Every structure is written in C-alpha cells, then in structure tokens.
Amino acid sequence: MAPFLAYEDKGPDTHRVPLVLVHGHPFDRTMWAPQLERFPGTRRVVAPDLRGYGASPTTPAVADFSAFARDIEALLDELKVESFVLAGLSMGGQIVMDCYRLFPERVRGLVLADTFPAAETPEGVRTRDAMADRLLAEGMRGYADEVLERMVAPYASAEVKAHVHGMMTATAPEGAAAALRARARRPDYTALLPRVCLPALVVVGADDTFTPVSDALALHAALPDAELHIVDGAAHMPNLERPEVFDAALEEFLARVDARQPSPAPPRL
C-alpha cells in the first residue's frame, strides 16, 4: 500500500544504476535537495517522503520498523525501478539496512551516512518512547530548537540551519512519534553487515555527536567491501553541510557501482 508515499522521481532511465535516497528523522525528502539537484543529470533518482513525514500521510501509522522498507519496496515496484543503489542518513541508513535484509536481490550498492547498525538499548527504548510522548504533548518546535546545532554543526550556514529547522518543525508529531516507537524496537543489523556482498559507502561528519566517527569506523570495518569518507566541517548532515564533498564521494562510488556487473542474488536472511 505504499505508492501513497509522496516522492521525487527525477532524471532519465539510462545504463547507470538508479539512486534511491532515504531521509532521516525528523526530516523529509528535501533533506536531499543538493543531491536531487546534482545527480538526476546522469541517472534516475527517487526520493520518497517516509510514511508520517513530509507530504506522505501519517496514517496508517508505522507500528513496525520494517514497514518503512516495505513502503519503499512497493513504491519502487510502482515506479518500475528494478535494481538500485540505496542511500540513507541516520534513521534512513537503518531503513536502508532493513531494505537489504528484506530484498537484497534488488540492491546494487549501499550508502550509509551518519548511522549505526545496533539495536536499541533498554535505556534507548525508554528515551525514544519518552520523546514520542513529549512530541505528541508539545509539538516539534521545542525539540527542533534543542537539537538543531547537533543535527548540523553550530558553525553551519544560516541557510542550512533554517532548512533543517524548517523540516523538523513541519513534521507531524504523530508521524514522528510513531516512527520513534518503531525505531526503538528495530532489529539489530550487526550480524547482517558481514554478509553484504556488494559495494558500500560509509560517510560521517567529523563533528557528528549523534553517530560519531567511531560508529562509522566500526560500520566500515564490518562491511566486506566498503569505502569510508569522513567529512570535515560537518556534523550529522554532511550532505547538506558540505554537499560538494559528500557529492564527490557519492559520485565516485556510483561510478564504481555502474562499472560492476550484478552479482548473483544473495539469499534472503
């Protein structure tokens, strides 16, 4: 039931592998504005608003984290995008890992930005549930004010800060709260990573405090065929804070995937 998602679908169908961009929490597809400007000149690019975010509906609410991956799969079926590179940031990176868990035969490459694979700790579950309650009671603005200069670095441009703050405050509290509860109960992807039999790109902002460089180093070490890019002058959203650096790394990675012949499909796990 996922073609109900709002989305961007830009660029030509060519021999190049399509790129699918999965945003984080509590954002929307405009998080990928620089990439939606740059990459459709050479390949097809699809960027959905996840259920509960952006212009996508909040109902039915996400109750299980895998619903995000199934929504993306159904949207790509509707758009007739058979195989693709999946790129996700933060929660979007965890959704990308869930997509690989559920339909690995369709994935040609993974881009995991400012994210980590482990399941939530008991304390983390309590924290996310408490935040969900708070967002429902108070709305998004107080939370957005508090975390803005962790989402992007304090030294980020005023334009970038305004964009990020605007995405957060525009998110429906009901969608954000449902996603927080589902995310708190997501699977552990740690055992999946050594089985990823395709190229991966791990990116992290050097000043990220939500998912620090140490998380990216561990993620990179666990993946059999991964590249690592640490983006100086960025925090949790290097694709917006330093788009020229992020895009250069992504472009190089996509060229590598384009040149690679598809491998036999791995078994579903």
Task: Determine the pLDDT at residue 1.
Answer: 45
**Token pair recorded at residue 258:** 């384009």
User: What is the rounded distance in angstroms from the CA atom of residue 217 to the CA atom of residue 133?
Assistant: 33
Would you call the peptide bond into 26 cis, given omega within 30 degrees of 0 as the criterion?
A: yes
Mean pLDDT, the chain, integer? 95
Instruction: Write down the pTM of the prediction.
Output: 0.95
Contacts of 88 (CB under 8 A, 6+ apart): 21, 22, 23, 24, 94, 95, 96, 111, 112, 113, 115
Query: What are the phi and psi torsion angles at 193 (to 5°)?
Result: -55, -45
- Is 157 in contact with 216 (CB distance < 8 Å)? no
CB neighbours (10 Å) of residue 98? 23
20 pLDDT more than 80: yes
In which residue are the tokens 């980020």 written? 156
Please report the DSSP string for 145-158 in residue order: HHHHHHHS-TTS-H
**Token pair recorded at residue 94:** 């965890």
Q: What is the pLDDT of residues 107-149, one digit of tens each?
A: 999 999 999 999 999 999 999 999 999 999 999 999 999 999 9
2 pLDDT more than 60: no
Q: What is the pLDDT of residues 171-226, one digit of tens each?
A: 999 999 999 999 999 999 999 999 999 999 999 999 999 999 999 999 999 999 99
Query: Per-residue confidence at 262, pLDDT binned at 50, 70, 90?
Result: low
Query: What are the phi and psi torsion angles at 162 (to 5°)?
Result: -65, -40
Task: Determine the pLDDT at residue 3.
Answer: 56
